[in-house]
Amino acid sequence: TAIRRDGQEFPAELSVTPIRGPNGFKFYSFLRDLTERKRSVNELKMKSDALENSLNAFDIVDAEGRFLYVNRAYLKMWGYESAEEVLGTSAVHHCANPNTPLEIIEKLRQTGECNIEFLGRRKDGSTFDVHMWARLAHDSEGREIYPSTSIDITEQKSNLRKLDSAIRVRDEFLSIASHELRTPLTPMKLQIQSLGLAIDSGKFELLTPERLRRIVTLSDKQLTRLTALIEDLLDVTRIS
């Protein structure tokens, strides 16, 4: 650590070179300010820590599909205990379909990035739904590498399947209900039309108590059925 004229400390690198002269040795010193370098190192470490502790799985594979890096979330998602179990191994073992890694690499070489859903395979052989985004990059020696980030979408896919099933049931019910709603309306309409004709023609003797009771009973029964259907329809419309 060096100190500036104003008393402020800063990181520095000091090099001293002895040079022999006619009157003995002279020493030349070179002082290099390392403030920017240290800032860059600290920033890089901060980003590295953030990546390592990210909730999303992150990995890097080489052109042969072998793992160069995996973070903690990746190990947890795929059921591994340590990075040593994964590094240097093939990504083929992490996919239910062994052709998936090759398909991703081919897509990356064509477009530079790949957004894909596939079935992952854990260490214990169980499978889960994965959503991965990967991009094409190059290391310091110009070799292709493929950084990618992944999330487990098993629960999301399951919920979507349940929702799709519920929507199909709803649509089937609405199709049936549209027919069923018309069924109780038909006899009610006929009874009302019959009453109207009797009134219009002045044939009030046809409106006997027994007939009126029969019409009221039938209408009440049909209205009860209509009410039940409407309640069912209201329940179904809550599915979205």
Q: What is the pLDDT of residue 85?
A: 95
Lowest mean pLDDT among 69-83, 135-149, 189-203: 189-203
Q: Which neighbouring-strand residues pair with 7?
A: none
**Beta strands per DSSP E along 36-110:** 57-62, 67-70
The CA R_g of the chain, rounded to the nearest whole Å, is 39
Element (H, E) at 2: strand 2-3
The closest of 120, 75, 66, 125 to 95, measured between CA atoms, is: 120
Residue 22 has pLDDT above 90, yes or no: no
Q: What is the phi-psi region of residue 107: left when phi exceeds 0, alpha when psi lies from -120 to 50, beta otherwise?
A: alpha
Q: What is the phi-psi region of residue 174: left when phi exceeds 0, alpha when psi lies from -120 to 50, beta otherwise?
A: alpha
Q: What is the pLDDT of residue 71?
A: 94
Judged on CB neighbours under 10 Å (0-12, 13-18, 19+), 140 is: exposed
pTM of the model: 0.58
Confidence of residue 179 (pLDDT cuts 50, 70, 90): low
Q: What is the pLDDT of residue 126?
A: 96
What the block records as the tokens of 199 is: 């009134």
